[in-house]
Amino acid sequence: MRFDADRVVTEGGEFPADLILFMPGMTGNAWFDATDLPRSPGGLVQADAQCRVPGRERVYVVGDSGSFPGPDWMPKQAHMADLQAAAAAANLLADLQGKASNETFKVELVCIVDAIDRGTLVFRNLRRNLLLPSARVFHWAKRAFEWKYLRRYR
C-alpha cells in the first residue's frame, strides 16, 4: 500500500482521496513521548471507564488516543469516540460544578463497511454480534448518515 497526494494505492487497485489520515499500528502519537501522561503498554494515554486520565485532575481522553477498559474488540474511533466524548464532557462539567463525575460510555461497534455500491452492516455490543449480508441499501444508508452527521460541522 502507498499514499500519493491525491490517492491511495493498494494491491487491489487505487482510489482517489481528498484527505488521508493514517495512524500506524496502535502505538499512540509521537508527541505523547514529550509528556508525563500515564500510558498503556501500547503507548496510548491511560483512561478509566469515565474517560479520566488517572492521577490527573480534570484531564480526559477520548477516541484513538486513549486506552480504555473494555473488551479487546472495542473500537477506538468514530461512533465509539462520540460516546466517549459525551461521557467525558458530562464528567468534566460535573467536576467543574463539584458534583460526582461517574458517567460512563456504552461499549459498541456500529459500522457499515462500504464497497462503493454496496455495504455490509456490522454491529457488536456486550450482548450481541450482528453481521448482515452486503446490500445496496447499506451503501445508501451510510451515505445518508454521513451527510446528516457531517452537516452539523459544515
**Residue 112 counted as domain residue:** yes
Q: Is the pLDDT of residue 27 over 80?
A: no
pLDDT for 42:
86
Query: How do residues 112-125 score in pLDDT, each as one tens digit?
Result: 999 989 999 999 99
> Has residue 135 been placed in a domain?
yes
Domain of 116, in residue numbers: 107-154
- Tell me if 118 is assigned to some domain: yes
Position 122 in a domain: yes
- List Cβ neighbours of 7 (8 Å cut-off, separation of 6 or more): 14, 15, 16, 17
Q: Is residue 132, in this structure, part of any structural domain at all?
A: yes
Inside any domain, residue 83: no
What global pTM score does this model have?
A: 0.77
User: In this structure, is residue 50 part of a structural domain?
Assistant: no
Query: How many structural domains is the chain composed of?
Result: 1
For residue 14, being part of any structural domain is answered with no
